[in-house]
Amino acid sequence: MALWVRSFGVSGAEFQTLFDHLILWPVVPLLALVVGHVALSSWRWSLIEEVLSGVRPRFGPAFATGAFAQGLGTFLPSPLVNVACRGLANRLSGTSGLRGALSGGIDQVADFAVVLLLAIPAIAAFVHRDILIYLWGCALMVPLGLGMIFLLPTAIRWFRPPAFLRRVHDAASRFDRVTLCKLYGISLARFISLTLMNIAVHAAIGTVTIAAILVGVPLVALATSVAMLPGAFGISEWSFSVIFAGFSIGAADIVLFVLANRILLTGTSLAVAAATLSIKASGWLVGPSRRQRPDR
């Protein structure tokens, strides 16, 4: 991150320019998109937990855990935070923390699989600087992914894992095609919401192009997932910068978008986490008083 700041000569002047030109109304849909992003993750995780345990967790606690993971992921490695939060949530609810971590890991793998799938046409589009390659590529890759989903249960049954992977193999063999299709659909919806978040940031600052954002989102998501750095600091900034430069966007415009992206996504994620914590805290405070109230 420090290297990116030095390379692009970022100083207080860039922040002043950003705040002078920032449009605030896109923050409202951005907040809604972050809430939806968390809700989709919570729904997907609850489906995974239901397969592994036979009982679907309540949506409220699942959403709260997802919101905390979303907020903490702005400063810590997001996939690891999600796994840890899901495991801790199960532990606090009196169920298996290890199973929660496993289901959280599967939840993150579902995101990574979709990003990896759509990064293939994004790479081709970036090489040729042609957004149509990406759009047509997505139209081909999404059905291909669905076909792979239908083949996955058969492949799992035929696979003979080593001893240390037997527990993971047993868990994977419980997923039927209907559930896998649901997980795939939710993961695609989360990818779309992630793309729309970046478009909302573009609406707030307006310095790049929609084509560059569409191609950039899967590549940046792939880079940050592989790097596993806290909050993707530096990786996100450099990835966007390289991609936008490839689409002939000027350095000053790149800096404004990257700063807006970091500030707005971090701020909205923390706001959703704080609001969720506030609501949960009020429930924790009110709950005991209600239980202690004498009958009349």
CB-based contacts of 20, cutoff 8 Å, min separation 6 = none
CB 157 within 8 A of CB 173: yes
Query: Would you say residue 247 lies in a domain?
Result: yes
Q: Is the pLDDT of residue 228 over 80?
A: no
Q: What does R_g of the chain's alpha carbons equal in angstroms? A: 21
Alpha carbons 85 and 192: distance in angstroms, whole number: 24
Q: Is the pTM of this model over 0.85?
A: yes
Distances (CA, A) of 170 to 95, 134, 243: 19, 36, 41
Which has the closest alpha carbon to 72: 222, 273, 282? 273
pLDDT given at position 275: 92
Mean pLDDT confidence for 175-189: 94
CB 171 within 8 A of CB 52: yes
Residue-wise pLDDT for 113-122, tens only, equals 999 999 999 9
Q: Is the pLDDT of residue 4 over 90?
A: no
Q: Is the pLDDT of residue 167 over 70?
A: yes
- Give, as one character, the DSSP assignment of residue 165: G
Quote the percentage of the chain above a pLDDT of 90.
52
The structural domain count of the chain equals: 1
Residue-wise pLDDT for 44-58, tens only, equals 999 999 998 888 888
Query: Would you say residue 16 lies in a domain?
Result: no
Q: Is the pLDDT of residue 293 over 60?
A: no
Q: Is the pLDDT of residue 110 over 70?
A: yes
Alpha carbons 73 and 275: distance in angstroms, whole number: 16
Residue 20 or 218, more confident: 218
pLDDT band at 231 (very low <50, low <70, confident <90, very high): low
Query: Would you say residue 289 lies in a domain?
Result: no
Query: Would you say residue 134 lies in a domain?
Result: yes
Alpha carbons 113 and 120: distance in angstroms, whole number: 11
- Average pLDDT score over the chain: 87
Query: Would you say residue 264 lies in a domain?
Result: yes
- Give, as one character, the DSSP assignment of residue 293: S
| Angle at alpha carbon of residue 255, lines to 253 and 260, rounded to 5° | 100
Q: Is the pLDDT of residue 171 over 80?
A: no
Alpha carbons 213 and 262: distance in angstroms, whole number: 15
pLDDT given at position 73: 87
Domain that holds residue 156: 23-278
pLDDT given at position 129: 94
Report the range of poorest mean pLDDT among 52-66, 132-146, 250-264.
Answer: 52-66
Q: Is the pLDDT of residue 202 over 60?
A: yes
- Helix, strand, or coil (residue 160): coil
Distances (CA, A) of 61 to 39, 67, 101, 132, 182: 11, 10, 15, 41, 21
Alpha carbons 115 and 222: distance in angstroms, whole number: 6
Residue 143 or 14, more confident: 143
Query: Would you say residue 253 lies in a domain?
Result: yes
Query: Would you say residue 291 lies in a domain?
Result: no
